[in-house]
Amino acid sequence: MTVYDPNNIFAKILRDEIPSHRVYEDDAVVVFMDVMPQGQGHTLVVPKAPSRNLLDADAATLGPLFQTVQKVARAVKRAFAADGVTIMQFNEPASGQTVYHLHVHVIPRFEGVPLKPHTGQMEKPEVLAENASKIRAALAG
């Protein structure tokens, strides 16, 4: 198995070396907006503990991670009045993983609206900031 790279982009975001539009943070996870969203409100839930993906993560990381995924999924559904929520998590290149730090995608979904491709098209910072604000408000109740 390949070794975890502490210089991956999510590790740098966790260390505040790269800016992000943070939505939520606690001792175990950081939640921020995906800069190349596949849909409005596309959010990433990232554990602070280093692991490449689900396959090599410490089991103690998974409980807090998926508790937060559930909390964020409920919040994004409310924040965007979505019809549903897609949860995605990729492991190794054959699955589509491109950033080798465990993370979970949370994407609000709307009937009849397909996901956009993850093409490298970056969202405008002001849109990401507005979407993050909506989700923070939904998390607050």
3-state helix, strand, coil split of the chain in percent (to 5) is 35, 20, 50
**Does the active-site annotation cover 118?**
no
Q: Give the predicted TM-score (pTM) of the model.
A: 0.96
Supply the range of the domain harboring residue 133: 9-140
pLDDT at position 7 is 97
2 within a domain of the structure (yes/no): no
Structural contact between residues 10 and 101, judged by C-beta atoms closer than 8 angstroms: yes
4 within a domain of the structure (yes/no): no
Strands 43-47 and 84-88: unpaired
pLDDT at position 42 is 98
User: Of the residues 21, 42, 103, 105, which is catalytic?
Assistant: 103
56 within a domain of the structure (yes/no): yes
pLDDT at position 1 is 60
Low-confidence ranges of the chain (pLDDT < 70): 1
Structural contact between residues 59 and 92, judged by C-beta atoms closer than 8 angstroms: no
3 within a domain of the structure (yes/no): no
Number of domains, the chain: 1
Taking residue 114's Cβ as centre, other Cβ atoms within 10 Å add up to 9
